[in-house]
Amino acid sequence: MINVLVVDDEPSMLEAVMNMLGSQGFAVTSCANGSHAVELIERDNFDVVLADVVMEGLVGTALLDAIHDRRPDVPVIFMSSMPQRRVRQAVPGDYEFIRKPLEPNALADLIDRVVRTSNLHLLAGREAAEMATGRSRLG
């Protein structure tokens, strides 16, 4: 089961996303701000973070950096009603984007793809490290 941390300061959006993802079989934890998200990232293991771009406090690039400083392996998906081009200009970095209003199947597919890609990168990194130290399972 994919473990998702959802971060949004709008209670109605937070509840809607939690219900949407929960009904599709995801394990969902939520919080209402970036600072709390960072605390949760330090304490728990998440497969992906889904966060609103516009919130009070720690947001955008600062939130992305804080997450990746603590857990560089955890992918981040930003959501916003703003166009993707505008978000990418305001928040540079390595993340995925989905536009609000969220479509349940599109969101689930994006989360699946992001987590699968992240897992492949982790596996490839481990294999490369094993090969470099001569402990490859292939040989």
Q: For residue 11, give the H/E element and its range.
A: helix 11-23
Report the alpha-carbon distance of residue 98 to residue 88 in Å, rounded: 12
pLDDT at 121 over 70: no
Per-residue pLDDT at 128: 61
Q: Is the pLDDT of residue 65 over 70?
A: yes
pLDDT digits (tens, 9 = 90+) for 48-63: 999 999 888 888 889 9
Extents of the domains making up the chain: 3-132
Distance CA 78, CA 52 (A): 6
CATH 3.30.450.40 fits 3-132, yes or no: no
Confidence bin at 78 (pLDDT 50/70/90): very high
Do residues 27 and 114 touch, judged by C-beta distance below 8 A?
Answer: no
Model's pTM, two decimal places? 0.87
Burial of 126 (0-12, 13-18, 19+ CB in 10 A): exposed
